[in-house]
């Protein structure tokens, strides 16, 4: 990209005019009803027939991330750019700032910022735009803030870059002020990013983005990495600032929930093409396109009918099963009666501590108490949801049950037997009857082994089947999770995320387990895929009557899938009760907060 | 007794490590270096008192002043006069050390004259008593006069522990013990008090009393161990690094293996010294350079190379062509016979008992090819005698004529006559590049005569220890050694005496008559008569062909274009610094 | 890159061809292909050395220059210009012994390759064993190994090789008998192996450490799979690429080290042809006869260069992220 | 940071102790009899035994080792072959019977050469390696990149002694473009010092810079993909400035580490370079010690080299920690 002198002066003019909207008419603009915003005045950003494609490093055919996308963004408007991974939404965001690597990427079409063409604009012009008139907020603030510089310094730099006259002191003052505005005390301006919590870091990012009153803010999945409660806080903050500065926001997200609460208009992307675009409220209320319908339907809310099959792209309006899962009630009773019958799993004041960092030879810092005095019970065939924010110790608990993590204290009884110090026989039983489904479909399959090899491992370990029978069985398993049997000899990288998750489930089923521990099995998947996998799990649960320990941070999913729910916070059990009771009348404030955030 | 260890130091340079250059006979180099005629370079007569008076004969065109750079690959093993026992070190130590007698060299001819002593000593009681008188005005670097007691103290030191590295003769002769160790049992050095065998009636007179007649005292008196040492300056081990000077120069700095700096000694008087001169201001030795770089610097004349010479390193082979083609370069080569050194292919006579086999080996010996890989005629002249042409009254002879390139068929014929021809012979060689190449030549050459050679690479430093061990497993090895002074006295009587241990008689040669002859000749006190008898005896020995002479090695060294008066010392076999000057 | 990942993740299974064979991918990159060609050529020459020598009618040990007059000067230098290059002696004659340079070079490849391949094999084996085991076991084993490798890496390797190889030699060979050639090779392989395995072990240890925490390993362990299964079935397949790259990179490294030792005089002795020794001899005479240093020097450069290029190509082929 | 540093230093010391022990065991287990080597020419077995006693070789290995260590810490008295004892003060790395000189002294005598050589070579290495690496990374995929990468690869493949001789031949002896390689103490004549070391610096630096250049290229390329670099550009920072301020900082870690290793290795004595250019540094000293079977000297040289490596690796770690707040501030 060489600076074309033609655009340079023009951009100067544009730059000078940008001062106006930033100061004067902003409140009025913000006040005007969002729906009418597009009509009012010329759009600050207008994208026409935008296409982005990446060259494949292996030299294969180029990948088309965005194809012929067009949209307008009016001043002060918030436009939601919704799509599943690979829909090209992020690529669009980057294209606006010309941040793609010019060697591997080709961008065609037109992006006009106040009439200034950005596609093919010179580096000089673009640099003036970046951070000055268009600012970015990335998904993960930990990686997008420099770990080597203090947040204060990074903001100050942002300021000075676009106020050439300003001195260091001035810049630092501005930075401190902005940080204070987003709720970060001046005392911490000299801290490095890794010292902040996820939410705080995201606040820093936002502060930095808005430091120079940009006309347009591109927020790329700004809250995806955060817990629900923090998510809300950050979104609120973003909203406030946006109204204050009258900044136009392009909110890129995969989560309809996020978009619903905070955008005026929504544009749905799929495979780099626009599917549907309408005022958000309208779009959510009455989606026109089937894909949109599916997305809206698949996005679980707290008022779905538990246990019912969810709409998917292929089947936008599934027939509700005649008898929606009644076990819930049964389980509720069961929890009482199970004293007579016996629990599958009983956990009594379980504690898991991790040794602290070694400071000196000998001395160590305080151990990390991941789980503290936890008690749990799972009846056969029952599904227990384990809810909590990141770091609440839910994964650790599941690892203990899976026998991957020794307990520091407390007992785990499986089928009445002591599983904390199991003998060989019990260890074999546990290995067979307790299986795992993981969160990350990419990490959970060995990239160097075919599906067949992966599926046959448990068979070889736990069954007496011969080679032929094993292959036979794995084929069945594959079909059971809805994949064609002829995929047996493929390698994981030939499958998509959802398919891999299915394979993971098939592997779990292979040993005919009685308990499946599913650690966030759907949270890494796209909404529609999420729905499909959930449907699959529910179906299998009905068919095989296997018990589940379902670990998740997503209340909606838990509510839809589980019979009973246990809430964890800072390694302790906050509350554990029947699903309906919990969602109807939460006992603790913490649970209430969680629910509020999920609404 | 022969220079064994010192010669090893020279073996490394002379024949094995880096090869040589400028053909011995063909050199036209400056200075009287072309000393490679068949006649001995040694003027027979010993110098008179008149010849022993200073100053040294002036070197034509010499000029005073300047600093001479001396580039050596390695430092000298020893500077302590009683420890110095190697040609180059002898030669160099002349700069700061003086002995009772020393060799005066004129036109490449060496003559033994009195140095500290007024003459080469006077014998009485047919060789049992020797008397030396010190000159007037000979002084230490601090101006104090040199006394006979100090010379005596020096000789006493050479009995002491740690002085095994020096020559054994004073202890042996003065105690009359054949064995060095027995000698030291009788007197163990200064800590055993006064040595009665040497009397010092006054500060200038030394009287040696020997149990048996000794003919070679004047030559021994020229050895470094006949240098005076002052008790109050004797720093023990450190004296090996910084000896106290009596010669024209004194040591002002010596960083071992790195640097040695000499400055003029103000208290040295030219009129007392018939041997040395004192032209340059300073000598600066630099140790640790590679031969390649040394020669390049001297040839190019850059960075002080013009004022430089080298004492211990040879002309690197890669410069042959340059020297042959470029007359200017050729002009800078100083060549000459390496003192009295001779290189032999040693044979362990206890393992190869059959003389026919030894004769066969001699006939098959590819001498010329072996010399070729070492640099050809530059490396030296093919030898046929045990003794070196450098010796007094030496005459050439060849009792076992053999073709230089080897004669396999003749060898086969002789071998056929042998009682039982050996299945194979073990040849030990110093594991250096040249050593490996020579081994290749020998294996190749002897194989043609149907003799299998098993080459055994041995760590160069350990080769002689290995070969001299009583139970040494080797049949053949190469050895370069020299007599201690230019008479045959230390050749046959030590190295071919059947009664001596394998460390001295490394050929394990046993011959009763020879032993008897040795005893007889040892009683002769008159040097030249003794020499005559020894040459005769040498031929008797050579009839048995105990070892195969290979070559009289040459020294080829470079001197900077500005360096004058450089020649190879006919006795010590290296460029002598004591005669150098800078032309400009 | 990141976006490509996303595309793969969209639920429609992407239609991408199965990755082509390693060889094909290496050859796809031009330099890689050339490097492969050169390496192959060297291998071929090494294997066919006796044949070629027979056709060419010379052997590497005979002293042509000494046995036939008129080839070498009295000083042992080739008389013909350019180190005696002629129709009969294509690359000239060795000064001194007058052996044929071409066949020496030819057989020199064998020496270098034999030692390099042997050492590479041993070190790779050791490295895998140590690296994977330590990485998998972790804990105290890991700490001990870490310390050990720190110690070994602190040693000045070249000095040790210099000091030790003669020692080992004298330990293995009794005086009186000729030292068999294989002994020299063995000694070199031993000294190289003593240190060569550490880098691989270290990098593997790191890789395995991270793999060990991966879910698929966890699930295998949760299923009650034994350590053997986990190491052989789950871990090893994932470090294959790393191994291959290391092996290809190790060969030139060992070729170079062997040459260095021979150059310094503690490597392969006469009469076994050896490049390092040729170069050191060349350095003695290179003013008078540059060709004798030129040929082995350039050959060695080409050889190592080709192998390094090949190593790069292999790495890039296996890891497109590094290729860029 | 302090605790980190302390921990690191303790670790280094432990390693050194182990190295010394290993070196000791390794060499004194050698068959070559140092006493014989030390004793004069006609030493009979009795004398050799005496020498062995005076060298303390008759003691059990452990005792010898402990004596050695105490010598390093506190110095010790040593007996020479001629029975004279002398004090070798700390840090005493033993006594060379070949040179009749404490090893420490001998090493110190040779150190200036090696230090000059290493320093210059490192300087060249950093400038050249980092330069090529950076340019190649900025221009990656272009012809420049391929050219530079190829060039560095040649550096990685060429044998230093071959290059050294050819360079000497071409630049010094035949054309005389550069002064003869030689060492002059910088104090006496800085110009001559620099001139004499120029060629060794370039050759050694070039050959060693190859790895460095390749690493810096790949590191920079990797860091360029970091999100925070993209953020920096998103701020409106120019490409070059963004890379200089953020990418370089992010890529520094491994480079510093490698540099530490290189520095340690070079200061331990560049045996081949010193041989090729006839520089009388620690490397040459060590090789001569090896040839002379001068065990104390060999062990001393090995220890010195190991010390440098350990020291500089530790130093590098500290620098890295200081560069990266995540380590510095925990």
- Upstream peptide bond of A230 is cis (omega within 30 degrees of 0): no
Q: Which residue from C280, C271, C265, C281 is spatially nearest to C165, judged by alpha carbons? A: C265
> Are residue D54 and residue D119 in the same domain, yes or no?
no
C-beta of residue A234 within 8 angstroms of C-beta of residue A137: no
Query: Cα(A383)–Cα(A578) distance, rounded to whole angstroms?
Result: 11
> Is B264 exposed, middle or buried, given 0-12, 13-18 or 19+ CB atoms closer than 10 A?
middle
Residue of B nearest to C269 (CA): B436
> Are residue A276 and residue A409 in the same domain, yes or no?
no
Q: Which residue from A394, A401, A378, A387 is spatially nearest to A327, judged by alpha carbons? A: A378
Neighbours of chain B (3+ CB pairs under 8 A): C, D
The A45-54 sheet, strands edge to edge: A63-73, A45-54, A105-113, A116-117
Going by pLDDT thresholds of 50, 70 and 90, the confidence category of residue B153 is: very high
User: Both tokens of residue A282?
Assistant: 């309208």
Q: Which residue from C198, C187, C135, C125 is spatially nearest to C162, judged by alpha carbons? A: C187
- Asked if the C-beta of C183 comes within 8 angstroms of chain B's C-beta atoms, the answer is no
> Are residue A333 and residue A197 in the same domain, yes or no?
no
pLDDT at D29: 65
> Are residue A277 and residue A383 in the same domain, yes or no?
no
Residue B473 and residue C284: Cβ atoms within 8 Å? no
Residues B547-562 as b or e (16 or more Cβ within 10 Å = b): bbbbbbbbbbbbbbbb
Listed residues D37, D69, D103: the one ending a domain: D103
Instruction: Specify the 3-state DSSP secondary structure of A144.
Output: helix
Torsion from C-alpha of C13, C15, C18, C19, nearest 10 degrees:
-110
Going by pLDDT thresholds of 50, 70 and 90, the confidence category of residue C18 is: very low
D142 within a domain of the structure (yes/no): yes
> Are residue D291 and residue D313 in the same domain, yes or no?
yes
* Chain B interface residues (partner C, CB cutoff 8 A): 18-19, 21, 23, 292, 316-322, 324, 366, 369, 372-378, 426, 431-433, 436-437, 439-441, 444, 454-457, 459, 466, 473-474
Residues in chain D: 330
Task: Summarize pLDDT for C128-161 with one digit per residue, the tens.
Answer: 988 888 888 878 888 888 888 888 888 888 888 8
A537 within a domain of the structure (yes/no): yes
Task: Summarize pLDDT for C74-120 with one digit per residue, the tens.
Answer: 777 787 777 777 777 888 888 888 888 888 898 988 888 899 999 99
pLDDT at A14: 36
Which strand (E) or helix (H) includes residue A63? strand A63-73
D329 within a domain of the structure (yes/no): no
User: Both tokens of residue D191?
Assistant: 């110009």
Going by pLDDT thresholds of 50, 70 and 90, the confidence category of residue B551 is: very high
Going by pLDDT thresholds of 50, 70 and 90, the confidence category of residue D59 is: confident
User: Both tokens of residue A323?
Assistant: 């008898």
- 3-state helix/strand/coil string of B13-29: HHHHCCCCCCCCCCCCC
The full DSSP string for B28-62 is --SSS----SSS-SB-SSPP-TTTTSSSPPPPTT-
B with D: how many residue pairs have Cβ under 8 Å apart?
A: 103
A494 within a domain of the structure (yes/no): yes
- Asked if the C-beta of A427 comes within 8 angstroms of chain C's C-beta atoms, the answer is yes
- Identity of the highest mean pLDDT range in A186-190, D37-41, D111-115: D111-115
Residue D159 and residue C256: Cβ atoms within 8 Å? yes
pLDDT at B200: 93
Q: How close, in Å, is residue D306 to chain A by CA atoms?
A: 24
> Are residue D151 and residue D219 in the same domain, yes or no?
yes
Listed residues A281, A304, A319: the one ending a domain: A281
CATH superfamily of B341-554: Dipeptide-binding Protein; Domain 3 (3.10.105.10)
> Are residue A266 and residue A370 in the same domain, yes or no?
no
Strand partners, B101: B114
pLDDT at B24: 27
> Out of A175-189, A203-217, B8-22, D189-203, which region has the weakest mean confidence (pLDDT)?
B8-22
> Are residue D132 and residue D207 in the same domain, yes or no?
yes
Q: What is the mean pLDDT of residues A519-545?
A: 84
pTM, two decimals, is 0.81
> Are residue D81 and residue D132 in the same domain, yes or no?
no
Query: Cα(B104)–Cα(B274) distance, rounded to whole angstroms?
Result: 7
Q: Which of C9, C223, C324 sits opposite A86 (nearest CB)?
A: C9
Q: Which of D109, D110, D278 sits opposite B293 (nearest CB)?
A: D278
ipTM of the complex: 0.78
**Residue B434 pLDDT more than 70?**
yes
Listed residues A247, A281, A315: the one ending a domain: A281
Query: Cα(A79)–Cα(A279) distance, rounded to whole angstroms?
Result: 9
> Are residue D90 and residue D234 in the same domain, yes or no?
no
> Are residue A137 and residue A243 in the same domain, yes or no?
yes
Residue B288 and residue D196: Cβ atoms within 8 Å? no
C with D: how many residue pairs have Cβ under 8 Å apart?
A: 117
In this structure, how many other beta carbons lie within 10 angstroms of the beta carbon of residue D324?
Answer: 18
**Sign, CA torsion A17/A20/A25/A30:** positive
**Residue D210 pLDDT more than 90?**
no
Residue B456 and residue C178: Cβ atoms within 8 Å? yes
> Are residue D50 and residue D185 in the same domain, yes or no?
no
Residue C77 and residue B426: Cβ atoms within 8 Å? no
Task: Summarize pLDDT for D67-123 with one digit per residue, the tens.
Answer: 888 888 887 777 766 666 777 777 888 888 777 788 898 899 889 999 999 999 999
> Are residue D197 and residue D268 in the same domain, yes or no?
yes
Residue C4 and residue A444: Cβ atoms within 8 Å? no
Strand partners, C290: none
Percent of chain C with pLDDT over 90: 5
A291 within a domain of the structure (yes/no): no
Number of domains in chain D: 2
pLDDT at A597: 79
Q: How far is CA C296 from CA B292, B440, B563, D106, D165, in A?
A: 20, 21, 39, 37, 13
Going by pLDDT thresholds of 50, 70 and 90, the confidence category of residue B285 is: very high
A5 within a domain of the structure (yes/no): no
Q: What is the mean pLDDT of residues C7-27?
A: 49
pLDDT at C9: 31
Domain ranges for chain B: 341-554
Average pLDDT of chain A, as a whole number: 80
Whole domain around residue D70: which residue ranges? 2-103
Neighbours of chain A (3+ CB pairs under 8 A): C, D
> Are residue A472 and residue A543 in the same domain, yes or no?
yes
Write out chain D residues lying below 8 Å of B240, CB-based.
Answer: 100
Residue of C nearest to B427 (CA): C176
Which DSSP letter does residue C93 get? B
Task: Please tell me which residue, C319 or B528, carries the higher pLDDT value.
Answer: B528
A297 within a domain of the structure (yes/no): no
D307 within a domain of the structure (yes/no): yes
Q: Name the residue with tokens 């009682």.
A: B419
> Are residue A154 and residue A59 in the same domain, yes or no?
yes
Residue D293 and residue B162: Cβ atoms within 8 Å? no
- Asked if the C-beta of D25 comes within 8 angstroms of chain C's C-beta atoms, the answer is no
- Asked if the C-beta of D178 comes within 8 angstroms of chain B's C-beta atoms, the answer is no
Residue of D nearest to B239 (CA): D100
**Residue C1 pLDDT more than 80?**
no
Task: Summarize pLDDT for B30-50 with one digit per residue, the tens.
Answer: 333 333 334 455 555 677 888
Task: Summarize pLDDT for B311-370 with one digit per residue, the tens.
Answer: 876 776 666 667 777 788 888 888 888 888 899 999 999 988 888 899 999 999 999 889
Q: What is the mean pLDDT of residues B182-209?
A: 90
- Asked if the C-beta of D47 comes within 8 angstroms of chain B's C-beta atoms, the answer is yes
Residue C151 and residue D19: Cβ atoms within 8 Å? yes
pLDDT at C7: 30
Going by pLDDT thresholds of 50, 70 and 90, the confidence category of residue A24 is: very low
C-beta of residue B113 within 8 angstroms of C-beta of residue B274: yes
D330 within a domain of the structure (yes/no): no
**Half-sphere exposure for B385 (CA within 13 Å, toward CB):** 24
pLDDT at C174: 61
Task: Summarize pLDDT for C217-267 with one digit per residue, the tens.
Answer: 888 888 888 888 888 888 888 888 788 888 888 888 888 888 888 888 777
> Are residue D198 and residue D285 in the same domain, yes or no?
yes
Task: Please tell me which residue, A346 or C4, carries the higher pLDDT value.
Answer: A346
D328 within a domain of the structure (yes/no): no
Write out chain D residues lying below 8 Å of A138, CB-based.
Answer: 227, 230-231
Query: Cα(A496)–Cα(C200) distance, rounded to whole angstroms?
Result: 34
What would you report as the CA-atom Rg of chain D, rounded to the nearest whole angstrom?
Answer: 24
Listed residues D103, D123, D145: the one ending a domain: D103
Task: Summarize pLDDT for B441-482 with one digit per residue, the tens.
Answer: 999 899 988 898 888 888 777 788 778 888 888 899 998 888
Q: Which of C66, C265, C271 sits opposite B369 (nearest CB)?
A: C66
Domain holding A163: CATH number? Answer: 3.40.50.300
Query: Cα(C63)–Cα(C65) distance, rounded to whole angstroms?
Result: 6
A474 within a domain of the structure (yes/no): yes
What would you report as the CA-atom Rg of chain B, rounded to the nearest whole angstrom?
Answer: 23
Torsion from C-alpha of B382, B385, B390, B394, nearest 10 degrees:
-130
Helix intervals (H) in B418-491 = 433-448, 463-468
D/C Cβ contact: 3+ pairs below 8 Å = yes
Listed residues A281, A312, A339: the one ending a domain: A281
Q: How close, in Å, is residue D32 to chain C by CA atoms?
A: 8
Question: Can you point out the beta strands (E) in A74-104?
Answer: 78-83
> Out of A333-342, D108-117, D159-168, which region has the weakest mean confidence (pLDDT)?
A333-342
Number of domains in chain A: 2
Going by pLDDT thresholds of 50, 70 and 90, the confidence category of residue A320 is: low
Task: Please tell me which residue, C317 or B442, carries the higher pLDDT value.
Answer: B442
Q: What is the mean pLDDT of residues A516-523?
A: 87
Helix intervals (H) in A489-561 = 497-510, 527-544, 555-561
Query: Cα(C25)–Cα(C322) distance, rounded to whole angstroms?
Result: 14
**Residue A327 pLDDT more than 80?**
no
Strand partners, B556: B335
> Are residue D117 and residue D45 in the same domain, yes or no?
no
D/A Cβ contact: 3+ pairs below 8 Å = yes
Q: Which of C223, C238, C321 sits opposite A461 (nearest CB)?
A: C223
Q: What is the mean pLDDT of residues B560-568?
A: 89
**Residue B252 pLDDT more than 90?**
yes
Query: Cα(C313)–Cα(C318) distance, rounded to whole angstroms?
Result: 9
Query: Cα(A398)–Cα(A394) distance, rounded to whole angstroms?
Result: 6
Listed residues D103, D137, D159: the one ending a domain: D103
Whole domain around residue A97: which residue ranges? 12-32+42-281
Torsion from C-alpha of C202, C207, C213, C215, nearest 10 degrees:
-160
> Are residue A80 and residue A159 in the same domain, yes or no?
yes
> Out of A353-357, B286-290, C6-10, which region has the weakest mean confidence (pLDDT)?
C6-10
């Amino acid at each position: 990209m060489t600076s074309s002198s033609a655009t340079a002066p023009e951009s100067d003019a544009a730059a000078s005019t940008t001062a106006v909207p930033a100061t004067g008419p902003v409140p009025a603009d913000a006040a005007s009803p969002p729906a009418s915003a597009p009509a009012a005045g010329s759009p600050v950003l207008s994208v026409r027939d935008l296409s982005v494609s990446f060259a494949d490093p292996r030299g294969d055919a180029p990948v088309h991330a965005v194809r012929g996308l067009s949209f307008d963004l009016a001043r002060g408007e918030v436009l939601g750019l919704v799509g599943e991974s690979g829909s090209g939404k992020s690529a669009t965001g980057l294209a606006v700032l010309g941040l793609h690597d010019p060697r591997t990427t080709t961008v065609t079409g037109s992006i006009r910022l106040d009439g200034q063409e950005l596609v093919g604009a010179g580096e000089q012009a673009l640099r003036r735009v970046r951070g000055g008139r268009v600012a970015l907020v990335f998904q993960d603030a930990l990686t997008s803030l420099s770990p080597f510089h203090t947040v204060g310094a990074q903001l100050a730099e942002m300021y000075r870059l676009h106020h050439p006259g300003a001195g260091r002191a001035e810049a630092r003052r501005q930075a401190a002020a902005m940080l204070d505005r987003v709720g970060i005390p001046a005392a911490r301006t000299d801290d490095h990013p890794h010292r902040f919590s996820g939410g705080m870091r995201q606040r820093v990012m936002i502060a930095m983005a808005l430091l120079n009153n940009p006309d347009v803010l591109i927020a790329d999945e700004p809250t995806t990495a955060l817990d629900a409660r923090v998510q809300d806080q950050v979104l609120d903050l973003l909203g406030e600032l946006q109204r204050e500065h009258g900044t136009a926001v392009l909110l890129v997200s995969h989560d309809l929930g996020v978009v619903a609460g905070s955008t005026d208009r929504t544009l749905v992307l799929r495979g780099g093409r626009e599917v549907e675009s309408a005022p958000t409220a309208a779009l959510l209320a009455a989606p026109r396109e089937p894909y949109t319908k599916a997305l809206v339907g698949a996005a679980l809310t707290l008022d779905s009918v538990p246990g019912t099959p969810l709409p998917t792209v292929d089947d936008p309006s599934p027939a509700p099963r005649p008898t929606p899962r009644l076990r819930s009630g049964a389980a509720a009773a069961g929890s009482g009666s199970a004293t007579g019958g016996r629990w599958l799993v009983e956990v009594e004041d379980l504690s898991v501590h991790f040794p602290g960092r070694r400071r000196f030879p000998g001395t160590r810092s305080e151990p990390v108490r991941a789980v503290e005095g936890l008690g749990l019970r799972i009846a056969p065939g029952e599904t227990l949801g384990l809810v909590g924010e990141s770091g609440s110790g839910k994964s650790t608990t599941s690892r203990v049950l899976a026998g991957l993590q020794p307990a520091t204290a407390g007992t785990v009884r499986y089928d009445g037997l002591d599983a904390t110090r199991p003998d060989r026989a019990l260890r074999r039983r546990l290995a067979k009857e307790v299986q795992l489904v993981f969160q990350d479909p990419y990490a959970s399959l060995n990239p160097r082994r075919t599906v067949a090899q992966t599926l046959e491992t448990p068979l070889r370990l736990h069954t007496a089947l011969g080679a032929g029978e094993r292959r036979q069985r794995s084929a069945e398993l594959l079909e059971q999770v809805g994949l064609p049997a002829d995929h047996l000899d493929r390698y994981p990288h030939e499958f998509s995320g959802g398919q891999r998750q299915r394979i993971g489930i098939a592997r779990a089923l292979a040993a005919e387990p009685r308990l499946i521990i599913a650690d966030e099995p759907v949270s890494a998947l796209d909404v529609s895929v999420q729905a499909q996998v959930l449907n699959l799990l529910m179906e299998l649960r009905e068919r095989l009557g296997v018990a589940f320990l379902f670990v998740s941070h997503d209340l909606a999913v838990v509510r839809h899938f589980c019979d009973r729910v246990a809430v964890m916070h800072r390694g302790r059990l906050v509350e554990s009760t029947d699903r309906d009771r919990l969602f109807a009348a939460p006992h603790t404030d913490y649970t209430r907060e969680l629910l509020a955030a999920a609404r | 007794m022969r220079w064994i260890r010192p010669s090893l130091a020279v073996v490394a340079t002379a024949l094995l490590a880096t090869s040589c250059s400028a053909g011995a006979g063909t050199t036209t180099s400056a200075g009287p270096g072309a000393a490679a005629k068949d006649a001995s370079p040694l003027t027979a007569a010993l110098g008179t008192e008149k010849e022993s008076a200073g100053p040294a004969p002036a070197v034509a065109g010499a000029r005073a002043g300047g600093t001479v750079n001396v580039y050596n690959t390695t430092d000298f093993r020893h500077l302590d006069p009683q420890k110095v026992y190697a040609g180059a070190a002898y030669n160099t130590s002349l700069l700061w050390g003086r002995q009772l007698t020393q060799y005066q060299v004129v036109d490449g001819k060496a003559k033994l004259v009195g140095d500290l002593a007024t003459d080469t000593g006077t014998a009485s009681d047919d060789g049992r008593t020797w008397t030396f008188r010190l000159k007037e005005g000979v002084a230490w670097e601090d101006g104090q006069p040199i006394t006979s007691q100090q010379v005596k103290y020096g000789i006493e030191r050479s009995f002491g522990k740690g002085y095994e590295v020096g020559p054994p003769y004073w202890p042996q002769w003065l105690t009359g013990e054949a064995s060095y160790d027995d000698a030291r049992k009788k007197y163990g050095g200064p800590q055993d008090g006064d040595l009665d065998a040497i009397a010092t009636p006054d500060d200038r007179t030394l009287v040696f009393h020997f149990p048996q007649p000794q003919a070679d005292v004047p030559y021994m008196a020229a050895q470094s161990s006949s240098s005076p040492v002052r008790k109050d300056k004797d720093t023990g081990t450190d004296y090996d690094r910084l000896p106290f000077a009596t010669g024209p120069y004194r040591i002002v700095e010596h960083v071992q293996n790195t640097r040695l700096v000499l400055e003029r000694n103000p208290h040295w008087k030219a009129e007392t010294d018939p041997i040395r001169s004192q032209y340059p201001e300073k000598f600066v030795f630099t140790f640790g350079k590679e031969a390649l770089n040394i020669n390049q610097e001297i040839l190019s004349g850059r960075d002080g190379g013009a004022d430089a010479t080298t004492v211990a390193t040879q002309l690197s082979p890669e410069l042959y062509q340059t020297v042959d083609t470029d007359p200017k370069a050729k002009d800078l080569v100083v060549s000459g016979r390496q003192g009295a050194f001779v290189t032999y292919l040693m044979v362990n006579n206890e393992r190869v008992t059959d003389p026919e086999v030894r004769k066969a080996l001699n006939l098959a010996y590819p001498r010329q090819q072996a010399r070729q890989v070492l640099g050809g005629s530059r490396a030296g002249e093919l030898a046929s005698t045990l003794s070196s042409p450098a010796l007094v009254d030496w005459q050439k002879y060849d009792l076992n004529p053999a073709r230089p390139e080897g004669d396999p068929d003749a060898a086969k014929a002789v071998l056929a006559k042998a009682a039982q021809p050996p299945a194979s012979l073990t040849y030990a060689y110093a594991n250096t590049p040249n050593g490996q190449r020579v081994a290749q030549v020998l294996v190749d050459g002897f194989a043609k005569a149907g003799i299998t050679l098993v080459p055994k690479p041995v760590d160069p430093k350990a080769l002689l220890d290995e070969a001299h061990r009583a139970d040494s497993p080797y049949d053949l090895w190469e050895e370069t050694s020299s007599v201690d002074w230019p008479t045959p006295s230390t050749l046959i009587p030590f190295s071919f005496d059947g009664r001596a241990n394998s460390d001295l008689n490394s050929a394990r040669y046993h011959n009763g008559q020879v032993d008897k002859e040795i005893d007889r000749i040892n009683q002769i006190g008159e040097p030249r008569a003794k020499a005559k008898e020894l040459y005769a005896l040498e031929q008797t020995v050579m009839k048995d062909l105990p070892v195969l002479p290979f070559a009289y090695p040459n020294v080829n060294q470079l001197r900077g274009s500005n360096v004058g008066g450089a020649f190879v010392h006919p006795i010590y076999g290296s460029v002598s610094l004591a005669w150098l000057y800078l032309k400009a | 890159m990141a976006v490509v990942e996303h595309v793969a993740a969209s639920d429609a299974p992407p239609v991408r061809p199965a990755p082509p064979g390693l060889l094909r991918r290496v050859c796809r990159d031009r330099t890689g292909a050339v490097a492969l060609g050169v390496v192959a050529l060297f291998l071929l020459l090494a294997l066919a050395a006796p044949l070629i020598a027979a056709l060419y009618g010379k052997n590497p040990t005979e002293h042509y220059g000494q046995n036939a007059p008129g080839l070498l000067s009295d000083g042992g230098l080739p008389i013909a210009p350019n180190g005696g290059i002629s129709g009969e002696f294509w690359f000239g004659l060795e000064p001194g012994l007058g052996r044929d340079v071409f066949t020496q070079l030819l057989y020199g490849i064998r020496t270098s390759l034999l030692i390099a391949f042997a050492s590479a094999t041993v070190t790779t084996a050791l490295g895998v064993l140590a690296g994977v085991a330590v990485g998998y076991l972790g804990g105290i084993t890991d700490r001990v190994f870490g310390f050990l490798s720190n110690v070994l890496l602190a040693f000045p390797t070249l000095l040790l090789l210099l000091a030790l190889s003669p020692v080992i030699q004298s330990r293995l060979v009794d005086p009186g008998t000729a030292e068999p050639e294989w002994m020299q090779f063995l000694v070199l392989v031993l000294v190289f192996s003593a240190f060569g395995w550490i880098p691989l072990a270290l990098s593997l240890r790191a890789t395995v450490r991270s793999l060990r925490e991966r879910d698929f390993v966890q699930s295998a362990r949760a299923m009650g799979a034994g350590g053997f299964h986990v190491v052989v079935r789950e871990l090893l397949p994932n470090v294959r690429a790393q191994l291959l790259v290391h092996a290809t990179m190790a060969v030139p490294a060992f070729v170079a080290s062997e040459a260095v030792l021979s150059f310094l005089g503690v490597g392969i002795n006469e009469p076994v042809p050896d490049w390092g020794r040729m170069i050191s001899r060349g350095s003695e005479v290179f003013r008078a006869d540059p060709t004798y240093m030129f040929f082995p020097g350039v050959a060695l450069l080409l050889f190592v260069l080709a192998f390094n290029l090949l190593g790069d190509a292999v790495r890039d082929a296996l890891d497109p992220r590094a290729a860029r | 940071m302090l605790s980190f540093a302390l921990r690191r230093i303790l670790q280094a010391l432990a390693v050194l102790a182990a190295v010394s022990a290993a070196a000791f065991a390794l060499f004194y287990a050698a068959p070559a009899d140092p006493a014989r080597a030390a004793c004069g020419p006609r030493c009979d077995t009795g004398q050799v035994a005496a020498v062995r006693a005076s060298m303390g070789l008759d003691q059990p290995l452990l005792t010898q080792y402990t004596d050695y260590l105490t010598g390093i810490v506190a110095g010790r008295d040593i007996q020479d072959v001629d029975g004279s004892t002398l004090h070798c003060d700390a840090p005493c790395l033993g006594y060379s019977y070949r040179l009749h000189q404490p090893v420490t002294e001998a090493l110190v005598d040779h150190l200036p050469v090696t230090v000059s050589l290493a320093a210059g070579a490192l300087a060249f290495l950093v400038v050249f390696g980092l330069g090529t690496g950076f340019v190649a990374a900025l221009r990656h995929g272009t012809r420049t990149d391929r050219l530079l990468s190829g060039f560095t690869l040649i550096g990685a493949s060429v044998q230093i002694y071959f290059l050294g001789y050819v360079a000497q031949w071409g630049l010094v002896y035949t054309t005389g473009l550069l002064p003869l390689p030689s060492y002059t103490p910088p104090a006496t004549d800085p110009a001559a010092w620099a001139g004499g070391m120029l060629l060794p610096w370039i050759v050694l630096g070039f050959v060693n810079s190859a790895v460095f250049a390749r690493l810096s290229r790949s590191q920079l390329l990797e860091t360029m993909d970091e999100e925070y670099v993209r953020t920096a550009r998103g701020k409106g920072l120019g490409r070059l400035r963004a890379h200089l301020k953020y990418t370089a900082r992010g890529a520094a870690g491994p480079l510093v580490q490698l540099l530490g290793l290189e520095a340690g290795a070079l200061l331990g004595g560049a045996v081949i370079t010193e041989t090729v250019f006839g520089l009388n540094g620690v490397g040459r000293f060590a090789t001569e010690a090896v040839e002379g079977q001068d065990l104390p000297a060999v062990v001393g040289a090995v220890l010195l080299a190991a010390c440098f490596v350990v020291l500089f690796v530790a130093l590098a770690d500290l620098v890295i920690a200081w560069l990266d707040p995540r380590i510095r501030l925990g």
